[in-house]
């Protein structure tokens, strides 16, 4: 009897499930005057995007529209693949005049996660539909936030995460009493010594579910040896997990490149020959550059006097560097490294990086490519995100106005954000 009831319930469930799936297809058609095609790196006019559930079905003009399609016409706006920040730190916030250790020492894990809820929402509403979070997230708090977003408990962008950054025995925290150094460094980093510990750390990260391994090519004083880096890259790649290296010294980059990392974060002051070597090996750079506005925010926070010329002079060497990266032919991937409290919404702050690339002289097409298709490839999500094409995920942002004509103005005027085919935010 009991089994019969169960069978009936199961049958009803199947029937209802069938009926439900027959009627649950949601079609949306997006229309706008301008459209950025990230693969062609070109703006097109008057394109339509047909979406079914979480995927793009078709892109073109005068598409055949199925019945019950919701049409969203954005007039003179620009349709762009959802932006990607390849270098976020949503479990971290540091005051401009505080050392790196303060947040990790003074803020509980619970409070860091609750704060990350706010940052995740801000990212999404600013037009970022994916972020790659690169550490300084305690012991795997990033994976908890990633799960909460995926399960729909909180609103946020699709999130990829690295878990603790793997480095030599000194991490990146200094200036704290030795009695606390070991405890805080072990909380924030995965510190290894020797090839076997390096392999074990990678395996532990992968077992926990990270999407990427981040290493410190150079920490406070110590560097990972070439053999350690090779072991990390070999172990990660054997499990199809990419490796990116924090590196801000040209000399330290040489071993990371030889070890076979997939990307390098920051890359400040690298020599032309190093950049060209990276270009020839297909190693991308994430130039975590800000903008004159982030420099202004810094001056304001510090209550320092400044002129517009001061901002421009400060930014000049950064802008020149972005142009040098472009000239060297290296693949540029947008990443903000936003973690300082500049009294801006986190998403707006992260977008200053993209604004800064435009300010440095990159064309609107090249700027958008860094935050769409280039970033998608770096994240191992080619053809799924960073593009709007048949069968890609429907991660789409609509910006006000003609973005090609004035990218800096459009970037801060978001009209609609869609993730997985769902309108998550609109104005
Ligand atoms: Zn960083």
Would you tell me how many other CB atoms lie within 10 Å of the CB of residue 58? 15
CB 140 within 8 A of CB 164: yes
Q: What is the mean pLDDT of residues 332-353?
A: 97
Query: What's the 380 CA to ligand 1 centre distance in angstroms?
Result: 19
The predicted structure's pLDDT at residue 57: 98
Q: Got the DSSP string for 207-266?
A: HHT-S-EEEESB-SS-B--HHHHHHHHHHHHHTT--EEEEE--HHHHHHHHHHT-SEEEE
Query: What's the 143 CA to ligand 1 centre distance in angstroms?
Result: 17
Cα of first residue to Cα of last residue in the chain, in angstroms, is: 56
Query: What's the 326 CA to ligand 1 centre distance in angstroms?
Result: 21
The predicted structure's pLDDT at residue 289: 81
- What span, in angstroms and rounded, lies between the C-alpha atoms of 398 and 33? 11
The predicted structure's pLDDT at residue 307: 96
User: Which residues are close to ligand 1, an ion, with C-beta < 5 A?
Assistant: 337
Q: What is the mean pLDDT of residues 251-260?
A: 97
Q: What is the mean pLDDT of residues 132-153?
A: 98
Which class for 10: exposed (0-12), middle (13-18), buried (19 or more C-beta within 10 A)? exposed
Q: Taking all residues of the chain, what is their mean pLDDT, rounded to a whole number?
A: 93
Query: What's the 87 CA to ligand 1 centre distance in angstroms?
Result: 6
Query: What's the 420 CA to ligand 1 centre distance in angstroms?
Result: 27
Query: What's the 265 CA to ligand 1 centre distance in angstroms?
Result: 8
- What span, in angstroms and rounded, lies between the C-alpha atoms of 373 and 388? 10
Higher pLDDT, 378 or 2: 378
The predicted structure's pLDDT at residue 2: 44
HSE-up of 22 (CA within 13 Å, CB side)? 6
Write out 402-413 in H/E/C secondary structure. Answer: CCCCCHHHHHCC
Look up the pTM and report it: 0.94
pLDDT band at 3 (very low <50, low <70, confident <90, very high): very low
Query: What's the 401 CA to ligand 1 centre distance in angstroms?
Result: 32
Q: Write the CATH number of the domain with boundaries 83-378.
A: 3.20.20.140
- The per-residue pLDDT for range 298-332, each reduced to its tens digit, is 999 999 999 999 999 999 999 999 999 999 999 99
Q: What is the mean pLDDT of residues 204-228?
A: 96
- The per-residue pLDDT for range 145-183, each reduced to its tens digit, is 999 999 999 999 999 999 999 999 888 988 888 889 989
Query: What's the 160 CA to ligand 1 centre distance in angstroms?
Result: 14
CB 409 within 8 A of CB 401: yes
Domain boundaries, the chain: 24-81+391-426, 83-378
Q: What is the mean pLDDT of residues 336-365?
A: 96
Query: What's the 134 CA to ligand 1 centre distance in angstroms?
Result: 6
Q: Write the CATH number of the domain with boundaries 24-81+391-426.
A: 2.30.40.10
Query: What's the 89 CA to ligand 1 centre distance in angstroms?
Result: 7
Q: Residue 18 above 50 pLDDT?
A: no
pLDDT band at 137 (very low <50, low <70, confident <90, very high): very high
Query: What's the 97 CA to ligand 1 centre distance in angstroms?
Result: 17
pLDDT band at 99 (very low <50, low <70, confident <90, very high): confident
**What percentage of the chain carries pLDDT values higher than 90?**
88
pLDDT band at 23 (very low <50, low <70, confident <90, very high): low
Query: What's the 86 CA to ligand 1 centre distance in angstroms?
Result: 10
């Amino acid at each position: 009897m009991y089994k019969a009831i169960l069978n009936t319930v199961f049958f009803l469930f199947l029937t209802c499930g069938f009926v439900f799936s027959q009627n649950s297809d949601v079609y949306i058609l997006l229309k706008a005057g301008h459209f950025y095609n990230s693969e062609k790196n070109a703006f097109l006019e008057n394109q339509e995007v047909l979406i079914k559930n979480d995927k793009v079905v078709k892109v073109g003009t005068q598409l055949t529209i199925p019945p019950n399609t919701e049409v969203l016409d954005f007039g003179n706006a620009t349709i762009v693949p959802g932006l990607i920040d390849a270098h976020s730190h949503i479990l971290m916030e540091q005051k401009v005049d505080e050392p790196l250790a303060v947040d990790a020492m003074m803020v509980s894990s619970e409070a860091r996660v609750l704060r990350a809820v706010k940052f995740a929402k801000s990212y999404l509403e600013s037009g970022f539909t994916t972020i790659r979070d690169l550490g300084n997230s305690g012991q795997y708090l990033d994976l908890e936030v990633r799960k909460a977003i995926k399960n729909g408990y909180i609103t946020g962008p699709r999130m990829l995460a690295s878990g603790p950054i793997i480095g030599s025995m000194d991490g990146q925290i200094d200036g704290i009493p030795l009695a606390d150094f070991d405890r805080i460094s072990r909380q924030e980093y995965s510190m290894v010594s020797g090839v076997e510990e390096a392999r074990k750390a990678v395996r532990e990260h992968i077992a926990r579910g990270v999407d990427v391994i981040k290493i410190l090519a150079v920490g406070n004083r110590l560097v990972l040896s070439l053999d350690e880096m090779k072991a990390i890259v070999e172990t990660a790649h054997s499990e199809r997990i990419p490796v990116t290296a924090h590196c801000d010294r040209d000399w330290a980059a040489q071993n990371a490149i030889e070890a076979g990392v997939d990307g390098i974060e920051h890359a400040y002051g690298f020599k032309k020959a190093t950049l060209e070597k990276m270009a020839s090996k297909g190693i991308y750079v994430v130039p975590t550059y800000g903008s004159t506005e982030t420099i202004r925010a810094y001056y304001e926070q510090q209550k320092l006097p400044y002129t517009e010329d001061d901002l421009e002079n400060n930014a000049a060497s950064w802008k020149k560097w972005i142009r040098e990266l472009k000239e060297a032919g290296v693949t540029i991937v947008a990443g903000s490294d936003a973690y300082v409290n500049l009294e801006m919404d986190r998403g707006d702050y992260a977008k200053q990086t993209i604004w800064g690339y435009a300010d440095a002289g990159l064309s609107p097409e090249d700027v958008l490519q860094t935050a769409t298709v280039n970033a998608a490839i770096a994240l191992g999500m080619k053809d799924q995100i960073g593009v709007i094409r048949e069968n890609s995920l429907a991660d789409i942002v609509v910006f006000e106005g003609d973005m090609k004509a004035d990218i800096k103005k459009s970037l801060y005027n978001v009209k609609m954000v869609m993730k997985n085919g769902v309108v998550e935010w609109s104005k």
